[in-house]
Homo-oligomer: A and B are copies of this chain.
Amino acid sequence: MEKLLKFDNVYIENYASVVGKMEKHGPLGECFDMCEEDEYFGKDTWELAESEMVHRCLNILLGKSKLKESDVDFACGGDLLNQCVGSSFGIKTMGIPFFGLYGACSTFVEAALLASALLSAKFYNNAISYADSHFCSAEKQYRFPLEYGGQRPPTSQYTVTGCGALLLNRQKSKIMIRDGLVGKMVDAGITDVNNMGAAMAKAAISTLENYFTVSNLKPTDFDIIATGDLGREGYELVCEELNVLDGFSDKYTDCGMLIYDYEKQDVHAGGSGCGCSAVVTTGYLLDKFKKSEVKNLLLVGTGALMNPNTVFQGQSICGIAHAIHFTGGEA
């Protein structure tokens, strides 16, 4: 049976979010620390744009926390680009010990779990965890050149341009990271790269079920239960399976459904990408603790493990989902 990671005195000191213009014009547009209208972020390529977005987000986080780069003990993060160059190039000049992660779109939660575990064990005094994605660099790499204007089916999702970051330490604050669960890979047999939500939903269901079992907590113990980026397709699959749990349907939402306006924005099944759960959490969900609107949040980062080669070669897309439990602190 999976083991619950119980963290000892790990708190969120600060968080930061930077997004692009699609996200600014969505329903959460007012929530983010910075919105950049220029999708190049002032750089020459989309890859550098993504790194610049990361760099700005980490700088905002340091500024909020009144920390210099050299005050940070450890950083971990990841993204969707080949060899994770978005997240690593974004932090490379900062001189912070760095641990690169790849968990596809589950990376934001994966990074927060890792940082929490290392702080809980007192290996470090503070840590940054983050994740990012950029619509243009992702389209270029995974699908078609943007100029091609390829049509997208209704089940496809729209990669969020955004970076979200946490600054964690062991000083009491309004938000504690209480526990978490590392997920297993679950293969639902999906080979359609335009239906990632379905590919990840089974992993989300498995992790949610396992989490409720090992934690002895119930859906009613949470104010919000959010998956990372299943979009409408994946959301429906989770509901079909888990709405039998008392209270689940009232609490459950998905970050990929919150970030865009389905009526006004052409996003098909919703938002996706490492940046999706990252910015919805750091821009919107965590603020609810500060406003005392929520006491317990269960966030399940969802990732689809594949690359264009494996898809062309007919391999199915494997889902993975990691859970993290934020709870109101005592500051």
Contact = CB atoms under 8 A, between A and B. Distances in A.
Give this chain's copy count. Answer: 2
Interface in A95-115: 95-104, 110, 114
A184 interface: yes
Contact of A47 (B47, B89, B310): B310
A185 interface: yes
A91 interface: yes
A124 B182 CA distance: 11
B313 A97 contact: no
B318 A89 contact: yes
Interface in A47-76: 47-48, 73-74
* Interface residue SS majority, chain A: mixed
A88 B318 contact: yes
A83 B80 CA distance: 7
Nearest to A99: B182
Q: How large is the interface on A (under 10, 10 to 19, 20 to 34, 35 or more residues)?
A: 35 or more
A307 interface: yes
Interface in A196-226: none
Contacts of A96: 184
A31 interface: no
A120 interface: yes
Nearest to A313: B45
Interface of A: 2-3, 5, 44-45, 47-48, 73-74, 78, 80-85, 88-89, 91-93, 95-104, 110, 114, 117-118, 120-121, 123-124, 181-185, 187, 305-310, 313, 315, 318, 320
27 contacts: A3-B73, A45-B309, A48-B313, A78-B102, A80-B83, A83-B102, A83-B307, A84-B305, A85-B305, A85-B306, A88-B305, A88-B318, A89-B315, A89-B318, A96-B184, A97-B181, A97-B182, A97-B183, A99-B103, A99-B114, A100-B101, A100-B103, A100-B110, A100-B305, A100-B320, A101-B101, A101-B102
